[in-house]
Amino acid sequence: MTKDNLTAVLHGIEDMRLEQRPIPDISADEVLVAMDSVGICGSDVHYLTKGRIGHFVVTKPMVIGHESAGVVAKVGSKVKNLVVGDRIAIEPGVPCYKCDHCKQGSYNLCPDMAFCATPPYDGNLTRYYKHVADFCFKLPDHVTMEEGALLEPLSVGVHACNRAGVGLGSKVLILGAGPIGLVTLLVAQSMGATKILITDLVQQRLDIAKELGATHTLLMKPGDTAEDVADRVHQVMGVEPDQSIDCCGAESTTRLAIFATRSGGVVVIVGMGPSEMKLPLFNALAREVDIRGVFRYCNDYSAALALVASGRVNIKRLVTHHFDITETAKAFETARFGTGGAIKVMIHVQPRNSNNPVKF
Ligand code: NAD
Ligand code: 572
Ligand code: ZN
């Protein structure tokens, strides 16, 4: 094993450095992972540009990255589910296993969750990273490392569609055609939704959504009022959506989600916008529209992997740009400014495809 452990470390606002870090020692329940692919998430960009998300503040150097896959390089003495050489996707949040939420199975709500690249916890845009083996998922040979990394945002889509109750014949409205809106579209389709309308402010993103199978798209303008757009949604879909999934989190999109959803339907809020907003609550209550939150995912990685491995979901189209870890600064510039219509920017810690046994 080489001693090179090049790592992308965020020191503060606009201060990301590539530096050498020691290769970590592992505990009995952990594996050492030779990282392969790490996607850039909006939250990584946010920590770089703002140094914080809400109460989560970068107060000491933090390794960035949480959408990842790699190859097992060492296994701890108590690890039973993995061996050296296994190609794995890494679920980035490790809960405490002890609190009531963990014991009841809702481990995503654990207040002591250690989540990659959420302060104070390091992420995994690095050559060698250690992780609890329980939160590593072996990939079949025909699933690429990039797809493994994308199981992370895909799991958000799985959780969101489950929370919404999407099923056979569902008519679904998705607000926002960024990576999260697009994975939600793919999952809703795979769950049997027959009409899916997706909105965005950017036509290029809607074009990709159409390519991925959205039955309808609607270009919004910044000044649109939610009530007016709700009428347009009904006209375009020819029906009121059963479920609306807000993948923006702007006040205007959450308002639209409520107005547009059929009585007795469900609004799910995935996008994290302002901490307080003005919403038509009476409209929702009087029509029994349930409003539900989404916090990451919980026991969703296996389903996300099954969707990709079975070919029911083709997630590769989301990746628009590829960079080597040595080009991390350029990769973040591209993700940040959406250069060249960037959707998902993938960073390769190993040369692309070097760990993909099946040729693509
Ligand atoms: P993104 O910024 O790439 O995508 C948001 C999209 O919404 C963009 O395409 C933008 O053009 C569009 N948009 C903005 N305002 C709009 C409006 N008024 N109407 C229609 N479209 C509009 O972000 P992303 O990576 O796709 O993530 C989406 C949101 O989900 C973010 O807020 C992120 O923090 C959140 N998120 C939440 C969780 C969770 O656990 N709840 C997990 C992952 C991401
Ligand atoms: O992939 C996980 C993920 N979660 C996001 C955003 C991007 N990626 N969330 C939005 C921000 N919250 S948070 O609670 N926080 C910073 C911990 O505001 C987490 C979920
Ligand atoms: Zn993320």
What pLDDT, in 10s, does the model give residues 93-129? 999 999 999 999 999 999 999 999 999 999 999 999 9
Torsion of CA 278, 279, 283, 285, to 10 degrees: -110
Model-level pTM?
0.98
pLDDT category, 47, cuts 50, 70, 90?
very high
Q: What is the DSSP code (8-state) at residue 281?
A: H
Please report, rounded to a whole number, the percentage of residues in the chain having pLDDT higher than 90.
98
What share of the chain in percent tops pLDDT 70?
A: 99
**pLDDT the model gives residue 86:** 98
In a domain, residue 308? The reply is: no
The CA 126 to ligand 2 mean position distance, Å, reads 21
CA distance 243 to 14: 39
Q: Kindly state whether residues 253 and 340 are assigned to the same domain.
A: no
Ligand 2 atom 4: the closest Cα is on which residue?
Answer: 296
- Flag whether 275 is in a domain: yes
Residue type, 50: K
Residue 29 lies in a domain: yes
Count of the separate structural domains present in the chain: 2
Average pLDDT over residues 297-306: 98
> Is pLDDT above 70 for 360?
no
Nearest-10 Cα torsion for 338, 344, 347, 350: -150
Q: Are residues 70 and 177 in the same domain?
A: no
Mean pLDDT, residues 142-168:
99
Cβ contacts of 276-280, under 8 Å, gap ≥ 24: 277/251, 278/251, 279/251, 279/254, 279/255, 280/226, 280/255
Query: Which tokens is 349 given?
Result: 């810690």
Residue 348 pairs in a beta bridge with: 37, 324
202 falls within a domain: yes
CATH (domain of 225):
3.40.50.720
The token pair at 107 is: 């481990």
Residues 26 and 134 in one domain: yes
Shortest-distance ligand to the CA of residue 229: 1
Range of the domain at 289: 157-293
Cβ-contact 62, 123 below 8 angstroms: yes
pLDDT in the model for residue 180: 98
Q: Has residue 279 been placed in a domain?
A: yes
How many whole angstroms separate alpha carbon 181 and alpha carbon 174?
6
127 and 231 in one domain?
no
- Residue 163 resides in a domain: yes
- Write the residue with the smallest CA distance to atom 16 of ligand 2: 53
Residues 235 and 272 in one domain: yes
Residues 90 and 178 in one domain: no
In sequence order, what are the residues at sequence separation of 6 or more whose Cβ sits closer than 8 angstroms to the Cβ of residue 244? 172, 173, 174, 175, 256, 257, 258, 260, 261, 265, 266, 267, 268
DSSP letters spanning 222-255: TT--HHHHHHHHHHHHSS--SEEEESS--HHHHH
Q: What is the dihedral of CA 203, 205, 207, 208, to 10 degrees?
A: 180
By CB neighbour count within 10 A (0-12 exposed, 13-18 middle, 19+ buried), where does 234 fall?
middle
Taking residue 44's Cβ as centre, other Cβ atoms within 10 Å add up to 27
- Residues 89 and 210 reside in one and the same domain: no
Q: Are residues 163 and 288 in the same domain?
A: yes
Q: Which CATH number goes with the domain that contains 104?
A: 3.90.180.10
The Cα 108–Cα 2 span in angstroms is 35
Which pLDDT does position 359 carry in this prediction?
76
Shared domain for 164 and 255, answered yes or no, is: yes
pLDDT at 2: 77
- List the 266-269 sheet strands across, edge first: 216-219, 195-200, 171-175, 243-246, 266-269, 290-293
Per-residue tokens: 217: 């798209």
Question: Is the CB of 245 within 6 Å of ligand 1?
Answer: no
From 293, 323, 339, the end of a domain falls on: 293
Would 359 be classed as within a structural domain? Answer: no
Same-domain check for residues 122 and 44: yes
Q: Which of 90, 272, 276, 301 to mutate to test the pocket of ligand 2 (most atoms within 8 A of CB)?
A: 272
Nearest CA to ligand 2 atom 3: 296
pLDDT of 1 higher than 90? no
Burial of 210 (0-12, 13-18, 19+ CB in 10 A): middle
Taking only the tens place, the pLDDT of each residue in 266-288 is 999 999 999 999 999 999 999 99
Alpha-carbon span 170 to 165, nearest angstrom: 9
- How does pLDDT run across 158-215, given as a tens digit for each residue? 999 999 999 999 999 999 999 999 999 999 999 999 999 999 999 999 999 999 999 9
Q: Are residues 173 and 122 in the same domain?
A: no
pLDDT of residue 166: 99
Pairwise CA distance, residues 316 & 116, whole Å: 23
SS3 294: coil
SS (H, E, C) 171-188: EEEEECCCHHHHHHHHHH
pLDDT category at 21 given cuts 50, 70, 90 is very high
* Shared domain check, 249 and 289: yes
- Residue pair 33/145 in contact (Cβ under 8 Å)? The answer is no
Distance 337 CA to ligand 1 centre (A): 14
In a domain, 89, yes or no: yes
Per-residue pLDDT, averaged over 298-323, amounts to 98
Report which protein residue has its CA nearest ligand 2's atom 1.
153
